[in-house]
Amino acid sequence: MSKPTIGFIGLGLMGGNMVENLQNKGYELTVMDLNADAVKACVDRGAKSASSGKELAENADIVMLCLTTSAIVESVMYAEDGIMAGVKEGAVVVDFGTSIPASTRKIGADLAAKGVGMIDAPLGRTPAHAKDGLLNIMASGDKDTFEKVKSVLEDQGENVFHLGELGAGHTTKLINNFMGMTTVCAMSQAFAVADRAGVDRQQLFDIMSTGPSSSPFMQFCKNYAVDNVSDLGFSIANANKDLGYFLKMVEDLGTESKIAEGSSANLQAAFDAGMGNGNVPEIFDYFLTLNN
C-alpha cells in the first residue's frame, strides 16, 4: 500500500526533525515555514515546498502542524490562502503543538463540516527523539480518524496514546505541563530560599533527594542551581505560554487554579526580566535576586 502524502507546517527543532524522520521512512512531503533555511534543508532531502497553506493542503492526504501558539494555528487554518481553503475532503489535519482545547474543538468542527478529520496530538520527549521516531504522542479525536493516521503516528512515536474525543490530547498536555512547570518553579525557589537562609544548596539536595520529593525535575533544578548546568530543554517563554493556556482551560471549565496562577506570575516576571530564552530551571536566578 502506498504511503499517504504529507504536508508539514512548522520546521523548528521539533518539526524539522519530525520531517527528517518521515523522509527517512519514505514519505512524500510538502513543507512550509518562515525559515527559508529550514525549508531548504527539507527540500535538499527531496521534499517539495509550498508558498501557502492552501497550496500545501491541496497536495496532502495528511496536513501536520507543529506550531507554537493557538493564535498561529488559527491564522494558518483560516487565512484567505490557508489550509481551510485547500484541504481535501477525506484528508486529516494533525496538530502536534500545544494549543487551547476550545480552539482545537472549534477548528475540528469547521473541518468536519468540510468532510475533513482532525487529530490533536501534542508531543512528549525531545527533538532528538523526533529525529529517531521515538516521541511520546498524546493523540485524541474521532476513533476512525485516529485509525486512518495511526500507522504514520507510529512511525513518529515510540508510544502513541489515543486519549478520547478531540481536545483530550491538548488537555492532557496542558495538565502535564502544569504539573511539571509548577514543580520546577517550586524546587527552584526552594534552592534560592536555602541560599538566602545560609543553607548549602548541595546539602539541601542531598536531604531532599532521599525522600519522596526526589524526581527527575528535582535533578534538573539541582543541575542548574548547584552545578550551573542547564539541561532541561524547555524555555521559560514556552512554560509561561503553556501555564497561560492551562489557566484559560480551567477558566473555560468554570474553575480556577491558584497554584497555576502563582507559577504563571513567577514565569511571567522572569520573562519580563529578559529570561524567556533560558531553560525553566534558570528561574532560580530570578528567585535568587527577588526583592534584592
> Which are the catalytic amino acids?
173
How many Cα atoms within 13 Å fall on the side-chain side of residue 9?
28
The SS3 of residue 248 is: helix
> What are residue 31's DSSP bridge partners?
8, 49
**Quick one: angle between helices 168-197 and 101-112, nearest 10?**
160
**Quick one: angle between helices 101-112 and 70-78, nearest 10?**
20
The SS3 of residue 110 is: helix
Name the strand (E) or helix (H) holding 187.
helix 168-197
The answer to whether 222 and 200 are in contact (CB under 8 A) is: no
